[in-house]
Amino acid sequence: MYRTHSNGELRASDINTEVTLAGWVQKTRDKGFMIWVDLRDRYGITQLIFDEERTQKSVMETASKLGREFVIQAKGTVIARESKNPNIPTGDIEILVSEVTILNEALTPPFTIENETDGGEDLRMKYRYLDIRRNPVRENLVFRHKVTMAVRNYLSEKEFVEVETPYLIKSTPEGARDFVVPSRMNEGQFYALPQSPQTFKQLLMVGGMDKYFQIVKCFRDEDLRADRQPEFTQIDCEMAFVEQEDILNTFEGLTRHLLKELNGVNVAEFPRMTYDDAMKKYGNDKPDIRFGMEFGELNEVTQHKDFNVFNQAELVVGIAVPGGNTYTRKEIDKLTDWVKRPQIGALGMVYCRCNEDGSFKSSVDKFYDQEDLAKWADITGAKAGDLICVLSGDTHKVRAQLSALRMELAEREGLRKANEFAPLWVVDFPLLEWDEETERYHAMHHPFTSPKPGQLDLLETNPGDVKANAYDLVLNGNEIGGGSIRIHDKETQALMFDYLGFTPEEAKAQFGFLMDAFQYGAPPHGGIAFGLDRLVSILGGQETIRDFIAFPKNNSGRDVMIDAPAVIDNEQLKELGLQLNLKS
Amino acid sequence: MYRTHSNGELRASDINTEVTLAGWVQKTRDKGFMIWVDLRDRYGITQLIFDEERTQKSVMETASKLGREFVIQAKGTVIARESKNPNIPTGDIEILVSEVTILNEALTPPFTIENETDGGEDLRMKYRYLDIRRNPVRENLVFRHKVTMAVRNYLSEKEFVEVETPYLIKSTPEGARDFVVPSRMNEGQFYALPQSPQTFKQLLMVGGMDKYFQIVKCFRDEDLRADRQPEFTQIDCEMAFVEQEDILNTFEGLTRHLLKELNGVNVAEFPRMTYDDAMKKYGNDKPDIRFGMEFGELNEVTQHKDFNVFNQAELVVGIAVPGGNTYTRKEIDKLTDWVKRPQIGALGMVYCRCNEDGSFKSSVDKFYDQEDLAKWADITGAKAGDLICVLSGDTHKVRAQLSALRMELAEREGLRKANEFAPLWVVDFPLLEWDEETERYHAMHHPFTSPKPGQLDLLETNPGDVKANAYDLVLNGNEIGGGSIRIHDKETQALMFDYLGFTPEEAKAQFGFLMDAFQYGAPPHGGIAFGLDRLVSILGGQETIRDFIAFPKNNSGRDVMIDAPAVIDNEQLKELGLQLNLKS
């Protein structure tokens, strides 16, 4: 037995107990006649003391050789600490060491193992096993475990069954790129890693499992944007004999439970907003509603004057920045530059100061009088002391631009509080979205999403107007979950595949098993999937999902610690019936 | 809302309640004036009644059209059932239906959806979603869920943290073949799917996670034997600052908890047996100790006579079959044929009947007298009425042969009772095992396993004698878990790699990160991994793991339901920098 106690548990009540501890040397203070060592493990820190009056010489000698991150075992007696440390739970005691063993030595770590480290991102990733020794990283991983336990116990309690679906499945060209896995036993053929267990969970519903969930790794071979991982984890859920309302209630319950259990926060009933409203009010289908700054559409009150920029715009839309009238001219100019950056792409920004005396001062005073500007204030909800920012142009683009500005301003003003939680259901998503590149409609959610009842006919005439039984759960401006009621009859599914450009042969080759299944008594069903990495990071009050993943990959999809991916030998390739055919 | 109640919950106390139910039509009985429908869902069966005196004509008409596995919704009133059915929990009531809706029609399923189905294995796998509707299959999956929940809650309670390790890792030629995943973003390079998270869990220990577990999919591209799956699930565990004793106690606790929770069985302290003893007593490193029939080595009492077969044998060994004296001569001949089959490979079998009167009758009476045979009985523990079966030859082979015979006889005699549980720790495994094919020693467990203290020197002189801190947990003759104390210092690990034939360059390329990690303060650590599929099937009292996997693959590694693996298009191959190079 290496230890009788952890380094986080000894208290004043343990004084005079003989103990054995083990752990890492966090730091040492050596005064020659006396040596103190902070011994660390996952559970805390305990101070060891070596004292030439009370400690054997050989033990003193070993103690004097201990370096940072050495792994040691120490036996001794719990004694009262002379100068107590109120900052740690073990701060009332220390261990007078009688015996010390070096279990393993350590090179000086390449960065400090402290809450605030001097290690850069790259170094921390290469030595991730050392990074995990740091409290914040380890606590994030423990937090993630608590979240998954809470999810599992909650859903299990509600009669959901976790079913493992296969990882070696079949490639489908729909959606993002699959990672593929060559099969040696079936030469020339490939498995694909699942982008989600979508079809399998639907088959489980056909199979009568009734309520399914799974916390499961999914894979997408996408060009990685910042904070995207080629492998990610979903809380995947599906229910049979349900309508949208049942799903929303069930998973609102789950989310509320998590907020209560993990954050101690009681949240009222989640508000709901249609996709159209979200776009109109926030320019975004995942609005952060922790703060106001709702969009005010100003076409009616701006397009009767001589300001051509607004007159020619499809949409003129503004937001009121609370207290923004304190911004200097220079600050406002910088804001204008910010929206004009290529990433945002606005052509310019009109602003209007709402003075404390009730008067207005805008950048377009030439065209608009006080009465006009009062209407702007009225529509955007601006009060005395606020600043109105107005963008104009093509509806789709200008909404995205103003949404970006809104988020940026909220960030600057400290309105995006990590410990405040504002969930929101966004409902009535369009069934299809127009893809500029291929010049055709694609399924916005996926091809199994059910159109709203009675809207199927619209597909031929106004496909973009067809709404789906699809919904997203948004938390603090992040989509944490999304799902839909599925199609459950073969005819509608065939129609949908046809509409999305699958020939009947392609549909059969890729989804024949699902179409077959629908013939044998498929129940109405629907579900939702949560992005666990994102959910955990938001509940944890942070933004970066990488901080909540034990061994994340970098933006090139590489694990820099183990140096993967890597070349494999030719023998292995040959066995798989493959050879390289490099482009470069 | 599709239903107010499930089909398993209505009781006599619900009589007169208006309810809405939904589910599948299990069967109908149509007497013209009265129709009964058994409505089924995951939770049970409820009887619906349609009666021309009390039911509208249009509803009667719909009811008469219902076929097996139709999905319907029925509204009506709970009434007392005239002839109660004591076999089902809802047997006291039925639903007088006022409204029925067909939610989905169904083709006649290709096999019956009953506990005992007429569908063969192949058909059931192709239509697995229908197979899952059958109670036994669904109950197996629900049971699996209960096992994983019990494991997670138990370990979580004991301060273990579930950490997700990556699926896209690096290929290592050691051990079984890896499945590889070509990387598009890193052309010409490949990820590998993990055969186990071994190195990652060790790095988590170096990272101070202290107690780790994960229920995780693992992958092995092996030629599939019966009941092996290319993807399988492990309960993977690791602890720091532990000796073998700590691991055995912890996971004996877990296993005992599972037996108690899921089977209601209290098991005493698990017996322990060395590998050497297990081989000697049972010819097997995973002995089924639910029954006796221990091996008796007979060299000393057989090799002094003129029976050359025994005299020339390295080992002469027998077992006593309880009550086996009732076997006819013909039955014994058949048994002899059984051990001579190529799968077993014995050259013959000697037997000795233990008569009720205390006399013996053997197939080698020419060479051995009553006194000799009495010694055989003594050594094998045979009693009057038993049969002694004796095999001889090369120790290694003859033990395997007699072990197979022992299991076969136990099976025939009904000694392998599914509801009886006999766990056993097998300890002190050899560190290395000789591989005939490559004519060298390989790591028996894996190259990270620690030799027993002080035995490292033996490596040079008697490598086969070196024992490891390695252990298996055996349940009812199946290895359900195995693990070891790991090497945790760089020098021993380097020595081990060297011994296993890795050049320093190869060791560095493949495991450099682990060797590096060991330099920065690695704690002593060890762990265990359970095969979940096997564990669940044994706890579930069954033998076939496939019955506890939702969507298993067949012996060629194919998913016959979705028809995977499959060819992918050339475009996809090209993007990956690959082309086919088929051998055939």
Distance from CA of A394 to the nearest CA of B (A): 35
Residue of B nearest to A129 (CA): B207
CATH level 3 topology of B12-104: OB fold (Dihydrolipoamide Acetyltransferase, E2P) (2.40.50)
State the Cα–Cα distance between residues A129 and A327, nearest whole angstrom.
Answer: 46
CA-atom Rg of chain A in angstroms: 30
Give yes or no for a contact between A24 and A71, defined as CB atoms under 8 angstroms apart: yes
CATH level 3 topology of A291-415: Gyrase A; domain 2 (3.30.1360)
Q: What is the pLDDT of residue A172?
A: 76
User: What type of residue sits at position A91?
Assistant: G
CATH of the domain spanning B164-183+206-272+424-548: 3.30.930.10
Q: How confident is the model at residue A104 (pLDDT cuts 50, 70, 90)?
A: very high
- The full set of domain ranges for chain B reads 12-104, 164-183+206-272+424-548, 291-415
* Share above pLDDT 90 across residues of chain A, in percent, rounded to a whole number: 84
| Block residue for tokens 């009550």 | B323
- H helices of B47-166, in order, are 57-64, 121-126, 128-131, 135-157
- φ, ψ of residue A317 in degrees (nearest 5): -145, 140
Q: What is the pLDDT of residue B173?
A: 67
pLDDT tens figures, B93-106: 999 999 999 999 99
Which of B188, B211, B559 lies at the smallest CB-CB distance from A567? Answer: B188
Q: Which of residues 125-154 of B touch A (CB under 8 A)?
A: 127-133, 138, 141-142, 144-145, 148-149, 152-153
Q: How confident is the model at residue A458 (pLDDT cuts 50, 70, 90)?
A: confident
Reduce the DSSP state of residue A210 to 3 states and report it. coil
User: What type of residue sits at position A399?
Assistant: R
Give yes or no for a contact between B340 and B346, defined as CB atoms under 8 angstroms apart: yes
Residue of B nearest to A571 (CA): B173
Chain A positions in Cβ-Cβ contact with residue B153 (cut-off 8 Å): 149, 153
Pick from B174, B181, B176, B170: nearest CA to B222: B176
Chain B positions in Cβ-Cβ contact with residue A149 (cut-off 8 Å): 152-153, 156, 162
Low-confidence ranges of chain B (pLDDT < 50): none
Give yes or no for a contact between B376 and B318, defined as CB atoms under 8 angstroms apart: yes
A453 touches chain B (CB under 8 A): no
Residue of B nearest to A148 (CA): B162
- φ, ψ of residue A246 in degrees (nearest 5): -65, -40
State the Cα–Cα distance between residues A525 and A202, nearest whole angstrom.
Answer: 8
Q: Which residues does A553 contact at the CB level (< 8 Å), separation at least 6?
A: A224, A229, A230, A231, A559, B166, B168
State the Cα–Cα distance between residues B333 and B360, nearest whole angstrom.
Answer: 18
For A153-166, give one letter per residue: b (16+ CB within 10 A) or e.
Answer: bbbbeeebbbbbbb
CB contact under 8 A, B171 and A576: no
A576 touches chain B (CB under 8 A): yes
CB contact under 8 A, A572 and B180: yes
Which of B71, B187, B517 lies at the smallest CB-CB distance from A583? Answer: B187
Q: What is the pLDDT of residue B305?
A: 84
pLDDT tens figures, A240-262: 999 999 999 999 999 999 999 99
A176 touches chain B (CB under 8 A): no
pLDDT tens figures, A152-178: 999 999 999 999 999 999 987 666 889
State the Cα–Cα distance between residues B421 and B547, nearest whole angstrom.
Answer: 20
Q: Which of residues 353-372 of A touch B (CB under 8 A)?
A: none
**Two tokens, residue B288:** 């089924």
CB contact under 8 A, B132 and A209: yes
- φ, ψ of residue A136 in degrees (nearest 5): -60, -40
Which of B516, B557, B583 lies at the smallest CB-CB distance from A185? Answer: B557
Give yes or no for a contact between B305 and B376, defined as CB atoms under 8 angstroms apart: no
Beta pairing partners, A39:
A25, A46
Reduce the DSSP state of residue B149 to 3 states and report it. helix
A242 touches chain B (CB under 8 A): yes
A199 touches chain B (CB under 8 A): yes
SS3 content of chain A, % helix, strand, coil (to 5): 30, 25, 40
pTM (2 decimals)?
0.96
Q: For residue A202, what is the enclosing H or E element?
A: helix A198-206
Chain A positions in Cβ-Cβ contact with residue B203 (cut-off 8 Å): 128-129, 551, 561
Angle of helix B329-340 relative to helix B395-412, nearest 10 degrees? 130
Reduce the DSSP state of residue B250 to 3 states and report it. helix
Distance from CA of B584 to the nearest CA of A (A): 9
pLDDT tens figures, A195-236: 999 999 999 999 999 999 999 999 999 876 667 899 999 999
ipTM (interface predicted TM): 0.95
Give yes or no for a contact between A492 and A507, defined as CB atoms under 8 angstroms apart: no
Beta pairing partners, B94:
B79
CB contact under 8 A, B581 and A578: yes
Q: For residue A46, what is the enclosing H or E element?
A: strand A44-51
State the Cα–Cα distance between residues A314 and A302, nearest whole angstrom.
Answer: 12
Residue of A nearest to B247 (CA): A1
* Share above pLDDT 70 across residues of chain A, in percent, rounded to a whole number: 99
Reduce the DSSP state of residue B539 to 3 states and report it. helix
**B280 to A452, B273, B284, B426: CA distances (angstroms):** 70, 11, 8, 13
Give yes or no for a contact between B106 and B71, defined as CB atoms under 8 angstroms apart: yes
Which of A130, A162, A165 lies at the smallest CB-CB distance from B145? Answer: A162
Pick from A143, A137, A141: nearest CA to A124: A137
CB contact under 8 A, B562 and A189: no
A107 touches chain B (CB under 8 A): yes
Q: For residue A74, what is the enclosing H or E element?
A: strand A71-80
Give yes or no for a contact between B130 and B116, defined as CB atoms under 8 angstroms apart: no
**Two tokens, residue B78:** 């709970």
Size of interface A-B (CB pairs under 8 A): 379
Which of B142, B181, B578 lies at the smallest CB-CB distance from A578? Answer: B578
| Block residue for tokens 């599992």 | A152
Angle of helix A135-157 relative to helix B135-157, nearest 10 degrees? 140
**Two tokens, residue B519:** 């330099």
B490 touches chain A (CB under 8 A): no
Q: Which residues does B118 contact at the CB level (< 8 Å), separation at least 6?
A: B111, B112
Q: What is the pLDDT of residue A174?
A: 63
Which of B40, B145, B243 lies at the smallest CB-CB distance from A1? Answer: B243
Which of A22, A513, A580 lies at the smallest CB-CB distance from B188? Answer: A580
